[in-house]
Amino acid sequence: MLPVPKKYFLTSGSSEGETELTAFDGALLKAGIGNINLLKVSSILPPGAQYSAKPELPVGGLVPTAYGSIVSTEPGVTIAAAAAVGRSKDSFGIIMELVGKMSKDEAEEKIIEMVKESFKMREMELKDVSVSCVEHTVEKIGCAVAAVPMW
């Protein structure tokens, strides 16, 4: 079993590319996580994990990350990606990711409601919510990504 992460940060980025994969790669680079290996995880922030400014993660490092991404090849369409962390006062936290054809404002509003609902379902008290969100208007092939890397 991998060690339980003690720190996390929120990030997001968007990019154009000549292919869907290079658009995704560019969005990861803009988000500051393009040179690590993301280990996709689901949506639980470990108890006691603390927010930290983005660290210098080792190139090629394996980093547990909750993330969502969207790629579009429809010129003129606006896409958005959002990641949110809801923290409880004395327990674990919840991470939510949201992507879609919408504005940044719509994504931020929806993801905050998703966090609130997830806390309500668990009968937990929500202390605070942090969000990272980005929108992108597609020129040719665009991507938006939002993530919560943990280490």
Residues identified as active-site: 37, 42-43, 97
**What number of other Cβ atoms are within 10 A of residue 130's Cβ?**
16
* Cα pseudo-dihedral 45, 50, 52, 58, rounded to 10: -60
**CB proximity list for 144: less than 8 A, separation 6 or greater:** 12, 13, 14, 27, 69, 70, 79, 80, 81, 99, 134, 135, 136
